[in-house]
Amino acid sequence: MVLFKRVLIRKDEVGLSFRDGEFQGLLTAGRHWVPGPTWKIRVEVVSRRAPWLRHEQLDLIVKSGALEGQADVVDLKDNERGLVWIDGRFSHVLPPGLYAYWKGFKEVRVEVVDARKPRFEHDDFRVIVRSPYSGQVLEVRTVNRYAAGVSFLDGKYVETLPPGTYAFWKGVADSKVIEVDLRDQTLDVTGQEIMTADKVTLRMNAVVVYRVIDARQGVTVSDGARQSLYRDAQLVLRAIVATRDLDAFLTDKDAVTGEFAESVAKRARELGLEIVSVGIRDVILPGDMKHLLNRVTEAKKAAEANLIARREETAAMRSQANTARLLVDNPTLMRLRELEVLEKVASSGNLNVVLGDKGLADRVVNML
């Protein structure tokens, strides 16, 4: 006795018929009577409203030709990728493989692109890389507005990228983008203990302001341009100070700074950097040397003050001598000078003066 079962397939559905596990064909919309278990027939009902036909035996279904006129088939090779639009909106990116999507219910468009060029470019680039599914096949890199991106593929330099967003196919090449900051950066060279030519140990702090002018050179010449510049600045400063006595260094720090800047700038160019400014910020002397220099400075200032005082006294005495000669040669001026003195005395008290023809001194009678 043969038993049958009824299978209902709606207008938006398709039946996949299998016998003994092998695909037999499609069942269209309607009611179908299917032989029972003894025939080992199985019908899988799938919805056509879902754009894609997903099945573990898709390759056999495609080869049978049953999808002719019902679905479109896309077979992506290893060097191909599929960009999928559904109803005019971007959906996702297909990796290599076999795909089938139903006709009629939704407008599906698959754009096949060549992935042999590792970097992905497209007119709708921003829409595609923002898709939540693009990360499955694309590596997205972003270079900030203040930086440049040095791009490498399989370890080889390709190009220097300006600020923006970029994408690379996964599995095609080993892509790497190193972001390099192009803004001015400050490098503090601190805690340098340097011995001068006369064996005085100084503790020095310097500052170097630089910027990157060649991003590729900055990441390929050394393992770290900033660290290399720091080490070179230390060595240059040590070499410059070691050739000078303490007095020569303290009296001509501008020359030291200039030589320091010139030497550091030369090395910076080899690292793809440009020096903006260089300065020696702090010079710290040992405690005993600081006390000794303070005493020397104090003695020098005291000697300078004493010299100035002697010069002023000499000038005053010379002025008085000149005045005395002038009064001796001119009695009238002498008389005026006497009156000025009397006027000053009179302003501080009472003064009675009797003047005669032979001079003031021997005619003063009463002074109160």
DSSP readout, 188-256? Answer: EEEEEEEE-TTS-EEEEEEEEEEEES-HHHHHHSSS-HHHHHHHHHHHHHHHHHTTS-HHHHHHTHHHH
Q: At what angle do helices 253-270 and 225-241 cross, to 10 degrees?
A: 150
Mark whether 128 and 159 lie in a shared domain. yes
Q: Note the pLDDT tens digit of each residue in 304-362.
A: 777 887 788 788 788 777 777 776 777 777 777 777 776 776 676 565 555 555 555 55
- 191 located within any domain: no
Distance of alpha carbon 343 from alpha carbon 348, whole angstroms: 9
- 190 located within any domain: no
Mark whether 215 and 277 lie in a shared domain. yes
Q: What is the pLDDT of residue 324?
A: 75
Mark whether 273 and 313 lie in a shared domain. no
Mark whether 278 and 222 lie in a shared domain. yes
Mark whether 92 and 146 lie in a shared domain. no
Q: What is the pLDDT of residue 366?
A: 43
- 368 located within any domain: no
Mark whether 108 and 122 lie in a shared domain. no
Q: What is the pLDDT of residue 111?
A: 94
- 334 located within any domain: yes
Residue 172, classified by CB atoms within 10 Å of its CB into exposed (0-12), middle (13-18) or buried (19+), is buried
The DSSP bridge pattern shows strands 185-195 and 175-181 to be unpaired
CA-to-CA separations, 95 to 79, 107, 140, 297, 366, in angstroms, rounded: 9, 20, 16, 80, 129
**What type of residue is 65?**
G
- Dihedral angle sign, alpha carbons of residues 113, 118, 121, 124: positive
Mark whether 93 and 106 lie in a shared domain. yes
Distance of alpha carbon 188 from alpha carbon 94, whole angstroms: 51
Written as six digits, the tokens of 332 are 């009238």
Mark whether 323 and 277 lie in a shared domain. no
- 175 located within any domain: yes
Distance of alpha carbon 212 from alpha carbon 183, whole angstroms: 7
Give the count of domains, the chain.
5
CA-to-CA separations, 235 to 156, 241, 271, in angstroms, rounded: 32, 10, 16
Residue 250 CB-half CA count within 13 A: 13
Q: What is the pLDDT of residue 313?
A: 79
Distance of alpha carbon 121 from alpha carbon 144, whole angstroms: 19
Mark whether 311 and 339 lie in a shared domain. yes
Of 148, 153, 144, nearest to 176 (Cα)?
Answer: 153
Contact 237, 206 (CB under 8 A): yes
- 73 located within any domain: yes
- CA Rg value for the chain: 50
Please state whether the predicted TM-score (pTM) of the whole model is above 0.85.
no
- What is the domain extent for residue 8? 1-42
Mark whether 129 and 155 lie in a shared domain. yes
Q: What is the pLDDT of residue 301?
A: 66
- 350 located within any domain: yes
- 299 located within any domain: yes
Q: Of 113, 135, 161, which residue is a domain's last?
A: 113
Mark whether 25 and 79 lie in a shared domain. no
Q: Of 113, 138, 162, which residue is a domain's last?
A: 113
Q: Of 183, 210, 229, which residue is a domain's last?
A: 183
| Per-residue tens of pLDDT for the chain, all 368 residues | 457 788 888 888 899 888 888 888 988 888 888 776 656 788 889 998 888 898 889 999 999 999 888 899 999 999 999 999 999 999 999 999 999 999 888 899 999 999 989 999 999 999 999 888 888 899 999 999 999 999 999 989 999 999 999 999 998 889 999 999 999 999 998 877 888 887 778 888 899 999 999 999 989 888 888 999 999 998 998 888 888 888 788 788 888 888 889 999 998 999 999 999 998 888 877 656 555 555 656 667 667 777 887 788 788 788 777 777 776 777 777 777 777 776 776 676 565 555 555 555 554 444 43
CATH classification at residue 259? 3.30.479.30
Q: What is the pLDDT of residue 367?
A: 45
Mark whether 241 and 272 lie in a shared domain. yes
